[in-house]
Amino acid sequence: MKKAIQNLLFIIMTIVISATGLIAQPTIGTTTFDGASVPGTGFGVLPQNLEVQGWDFLITGNVGTSGSITHNGGFSPANVSIFGQSGTTTINIGSNDGSEFNFDNYVVQFFNFAGVYTITSYKDGVPVGSTTATAVSTYSVVNLSANTNFDNIDEIRLTGFGGSSVTFQVDEITISAAATPNTVPTASSFTASNRSDSKT
């Protein structure tokens, strides 16, 4: 009986450790995507998803649209390259483990698509706020650090490609620890026990 219990505990611990290993958290600071390349998705019908160094990348499109996601860790600079044919609708970038962060900036370049696109922040699948940026064909910094709509979130989604094919390459992502929102005191939270003049 004791041996059976030990074997059961071993199996449970193995499952827990394996499941934990499948989830990764982005590093606070700058992710450069340097290092061994993660095997890409290959070219196929969207959606396509790839986890790289704690970040989940997802590309979606209209029915029949194809694309791919590739991690080029040995490139200089290293990047994650996302390609979608005409009909690409959304590119998502989020924490693999669902943890929150302040999205400060990313360094990106575009091919095939040129113009203004929309960046929308999300937390737990709910939109928080949005801004716009202009796609350019050389690596450029998109700075969102002053926009509080990008604080304490777990994902951004890029939209507004107007039916064009898109090649999106991200070289770096910089985040900081999620800002904890201040809770405004209310009358219901003020009780006799926390009054400075209460008697014990």
Instruction: Dump pLDDT digits (tens) for 15-67.
Output: 433 333 468 999 999 999 999 999 999 999 999 999 999 999 999 999 999 99
- Percent of the chain predicted with pLDDT > 90: 77
Query: Is residue 65 in a domain?
Result: yes
Q: Is 51 inside any structural domain?
A: yes
Residue 146's CATH number: 2.60.120
- Above 60 in pLDDT, residue 76? yes
Helix/strand/coil (H/E/C) assignment for every residue in 128-166: EEEEEEEECCCCEEEECCCCHHHCCECEEEEECCCCCCE
Summarised one tens digit per residue, pLDDT across range 163-189 is 899 999 999 999 999 977 665 665 554
- In terms of C-beta density within 10 A (0-12 exposed, 13-18 middle, 19 or more buried), how is residue 84 classed? buried
Domain count for the chain: 1
Q: Is the residue at 185 inside a domain?
A: no
Does residue 32 sit within a domain?
yes
- CB distance 155 to 121 below 8 Å: yes
pLDDT at 63: 95
Residue 17 lies in a domain: no
User: Residue 192: its pLDDT value, please?
Assistant: 47
The confidence score (pLDDT) of residue 10 equals 44
Confidence of residue 9 (pLDDT cuts 50, 70, 90): very low
Average pLDDT of the segment spanning 90-103? 98
Mean pLDDT of 75-96: 97
> Measured between alpha carbons, how far is 171 from 76 in angstroms, rounded to an integer?
9
The pTM of this model reads 0.81
Q: Is residue 8 part of a domain?
A: no
Q: For residue 29, what pLDDT is reported?
A: 98
Q: Determine, yes or no, domain membership for 58.
A: yes
Mean pLDDT of the chain: 87
Q: What is the pLDDT of residue 184?
A: 60
* Residue 136, pLDDT score: 97
Q: Which structure tokens are listed for 69?
A: 């996601």
Write out the residue range of the structural domain in which residue 150 sits: 26-177
Whether residue 118 is contained in a domain is answered as yes
